[in-house]
A = this chain, B = another copy of it.
Amino acid sequence: MSVTTSATIASFGGKLLKLAHNSSVIGGEMKFNLYLPPQASNGGSKIPLLIYLSGLTCTGDNCSEKGFFQHGASKRGIAVLYPDTSPRGFGIKGEDDAYDFGSGAGFYVDATAEPWSKNYKMYSYITDELPKTVFSAFDQLDSSKVSITGHSMGGHGALSLYLKNPGKYKSVSAFAPISNPLKAPWGEKAFKGYFGEDDWQKKGAEHDSTELLKKWKGGDLDILIDVGTGDNFYKQGQLLPENFQAAAKEIGQEKGVHVRFQPDYDHSYYTMATFADDHIDHAAKYLFA
């Protein structure tokens, strides 16, 4: 569980750490970033953690550079964990052939189909091994106070991990999430590849936020989602937030799912930078409750 540090970068009064560890779940080295706000160094109370799951093609670097989460996290005293989006460099045939499958596109599931099932276990990695590693290495963090958020594929990750694990995360929010991957081209491709042509719909349903929401028994929800109306992937039907809203209505939780359609905003980090403070505030409401 040992963690190596390749860089310590001052940011908004705290520190952004560039880290790596040898993951036994993934079967090799995984990189990640951790932002420790100034409150992590003052010897006071343990501080809560927000996990930010990135989208297709990204590593933990993109959002830490362009997402502006450190601004609000510094003010509120929240650490932010930026994991990578897949195993990398295992030499699996086809791993680098497409932007939306393989490297950079782990989809936060545990693959069951060959040749992916050995290494592509991002669900277990994100829900279990990585946070354990982080809490073991950084004892100023409070392992009982964890929230989750993410963008696009990472928004799918955040919503599905939250809905699959009632009580595990104090809150969830998402930017432009792939909300119903079973019905979106990105999701179908990923689920077929990681679960196999025969099983993808059944196994995919266990990771599809809209399907999971229909079966939600965990109590009142308060989910914040931002989607830009200028987001080309929204227009192309990759995100389908309306399906998620419909599922919320179906279970009588429409007041707990707040989808904000932001006029003209696109799929980029410019959108996240603009609304990052709102998502930090949303998490803070529950992390400090």
Chain A positions near chain B (C-beta within 8 angstroms):
8-13, 16, 65-66, 68, 70-71, 228, 230, 262-266, 268-271, 273-274
Contacting pair A273 B10 (CB below 8 A) = no
Chain A contact residues: helix, strand, loop or mixed: mixed
Contact of A10 among B10, B12, B68, B274 (CB under 8 A): B274
Given A65-B66, A66-B65, residue A11 in contact with residue B270 (CB < 8 A): yes
A15 — nearest CB in chain B belongs to which residue?
B264
A12 — nearest CB in chain B belongs to which residue?
B274
A70 — nearest CB in chain B belongs to which residue?
B273
Contacting pair A12 B263 (CB below 8 A) = no
A14 — nearest CB in chain B belongs to which residue?
B274
Contacting pair A270 B66 (CB below 8 A) = no
The CA-CA distance from A11 to B16 in the complex, in Å, is 24
A215 to chain B, nearest CB (A): 35
A97 to chain B, nearest CB (A): 28
Contacting pair B71 A10 (CB below 8 A) = no
Query: Given A71-B71, A71-B273, 7 other A-B contacts at CB below 8 A?
Result: A9-B270, A10-B262, A10-B266, A10-B270, A65-B269, A66-B66, A68-B273
Contacting pair B274 A9 (CB below 8 A) = no
Contacting pair B263 A228 (CB below 8 A) = no
Contacting pair A270 B68 (CB below 8 A) = no
Residue with the greatest number of chain B CB neighbours at <10 A, chosen from A8, A11, A265: A11
The CA-CA distance from A252 to B268 in the complex, in Å, is 48
Contact of A13 among B12, B269, B274 (CB under 8 A): B274
The CA-CA distance from A271 to B70 in the complex, in Å, is 12
Contact of A273 among B12, B264, B274 (CB under 8 A): B12
The CA-CA distance from A68 to B274 in the complex, in Å, is 10
Contacting pair B65 A265 (CB below 8 A) = no
A151 to chain B, nearest CB (A): 15
What are the residues of chain B within 8 A of A270 when measuring CB–CB?
9-11, 16, 65
